[in-house]
Amino acid sequence: MGSLRAPPETSVDVTPVTERASADRADEPQTSLWSTVREALHGSRRNYTEGPVGQAILLLAIPMVLEVVLESVFAVADVFWVAKLGESAIATVGLTESMMAVVYTLAVGLSIGGTATVARRIGERDPDSAARAAVQTIILGAIVALVISVVGVAFAPSLLRMLGASEDVVRSGSGFTRVMLGGNASVVMLFLINAIFRGAGDAAIAMRVLWLSNAINIVLGPLLIFGIGPFPQMGVTGAAVATTIGRGTGAVFALYRLVQPGRHIQVRREHARADGPLMLRLIRLSGSGTFQVFISTASWIGLVRILSQFGSAAIAGYTIAIRIILFALFPSWGLGNAAATMVGQALGAGKPERAEAAVWMAGLYNLCFLGTVGILFVWLSAPIVRLFTADPAVLPIATSGLLIVALGFPLYAYGMVVTQSFNGAGDTWTPTWLNVIVFWLFELPVAYWLAHHAGMGPAGVFWAITLAFSLLAILSAVLFKRGWWKRKVV
């Protein structure tokens, strides 16, 4: 997949691993943490295949983490306002998010191929090939978005019923679902173009794009939900309209930045044409990546289906708990994205030992962060949930869910980084098979058994989530140590 030629450095770099690692550390002068932060926020022009590994991770991770911090703020703010509309509105968001999981699956799957290919070409110091890969990724995304939009607008009520929604939820929530699925192109483009920037090492641009998008979401959300000032009162549908406008604006801005002279990648007129062979290579790479993410997201849909048998209160409690959990996990995914970029570029430069060192260091940073957040969630789960709901039927479900899932945060920390690093190397099949084993063969059967046969109800579903992600982390680490990913050609 991708170019079959080896990077120039691979054939000539016979320096021992220890000497190359020392050279990497010595190539750049040591700078203060504050100056590193400022450089990361401004947008670093450095070559991430050289210099100290820890500093390179920070330069990539700081904007990537901040990029998703506002995304996590929006996820919490969105459900905060929707919760004011009652159980049916929260259930609508939860069920529609399960359908949007298909959109996220395809977008993330395509972005895996785009990120890995762009990162590898940048590591090989071939920005023209990186730009061509970016264009083919965007074309594929546009085709996928169009198909989903047509199906979503036409069949929104039927899709809600299929997921177990009550007729009350179908009546009040069909508009929300139509807008979210009909406007999915904004989501797909935002995912893909930001993934291209991240693979190229332009993490600061991706950060600014998502900040713009979500700032608009946060401001417009309550205005359109409640009809404040001159804005129409649209109820739960207003949340979908605000989201689509915000993400659409962000996607347009991202496209604008992609064609402007940049630090690491720029799409020019000569790149903007279909390239059949390259597109097919991206489809092969992204196809396995999409299947990988589909397995994971389909398991979330399965979990919602299990929970729906316990009523709208169970779905609402699950929705609130998961949104709060995402508040912590989004920054962790930022660290995983940084590790994936480092892996792709280091392999492109013929430095597999640098790639491995970056993954373990990013995992350690993530452990420090998620471990701290996990302790806070366990200690303060009830007060945190009460910020979002006082419903006596929803409160205990959301509280137990937050506490149970937070217990697995230390293992998630390494699991998320290692899994994304496989993808950064272009080894999409290893995490795919891991997802099959962990989520389909383990998590779903365990969730059903604990919820229904062990009599644990919704809490059984949350325990299954914790056990599954812990198992994924352990298996991923074992396979990563074997080093097969270092020999992947993209």
Instruction: Give DSSP secondary structure letters for 324-354.
Output: HHHHHHHHHHHHHHHHHHHHHHHHHTT-HHH
Asked if residue 106 belongs to a domain, the reply is: yes
- Count of domains forming the chain: 1
Segments in the chain below pLDDT 70: 1-31, 71-72, 74-76, 262
Helices marked H in 389-457:
395-406, 409-424, 429-435, 444-448
The rounded mean pLDDT for the chain is: 85
| Residues constituting the chain | 490
Environment class of residue 160 by beta-carbon count within 10 Å: exposed (0-12), middle (13-18) or buried (19+)?
buried
In a domain, 8, yes or no: no
pTM higher than the cut 0.85 = no
| C-alpha–C-alpha distance, residues 23 and 185, integer Å | 45
Does residue 33 lie in a domain region? no
Q: How far apart are CA 332 and CA 391, in angstroms?
A: 30
Identify the pLDDT of residue 210. 87
Taking alpha carbons only, the member of 363, 422, 387, 476 closest to residue 115 is 422
Q: What does the alpha-carbon distance between residue 268 and residue 202 come to, in Å, rounded to a whole number?
A: 17
**Does a structural domain hold residue 4?**
no
The predicted structure's pLDDT at residue 244: 92
Q: What pLDDT shows up at residue 5? A: 34
> What contacts 467, CB < 8 A, 6 or more positions away?
408, 442, 443, 446
Tokens of 371: 């471990």
Q: Which amino acid is at 182?
A: G
pLDDT tens by residue, 317-328:
898 898 788 777
In a domain, 333, yes or no: yes
What is the C-alpha separation between 247 and 213, in angstroms, rounded? 5
270 within a domain of the structure (yes/no): yes
Q: Is 429 among the domain residues? A: yes
Q: How far apart are CA 284 and CA 277, in angstroms?
A: 11
In a domain, 7, yes or no: no
pLDDT value of residue 76: 67
- Distance between CA 383 and CA 389 in Å, rounded? 10
Per-residue confidence (pLDDT) for residue 118, from 0 to 100: 93
Contact in structure between 490 and 120 (CB atoms under 8 Å): yes
Query: By residue range, what is the domain housing residue 304?
Result: 13-28+44-487
pLDDT, residue 4, reads: 30
Q: What is the pLDDT of residue 72?
A: 66
| CA–CA distance, 186 with 26 (Å, rounded to integer) | 43
pLDDT of amino acid 31: 61
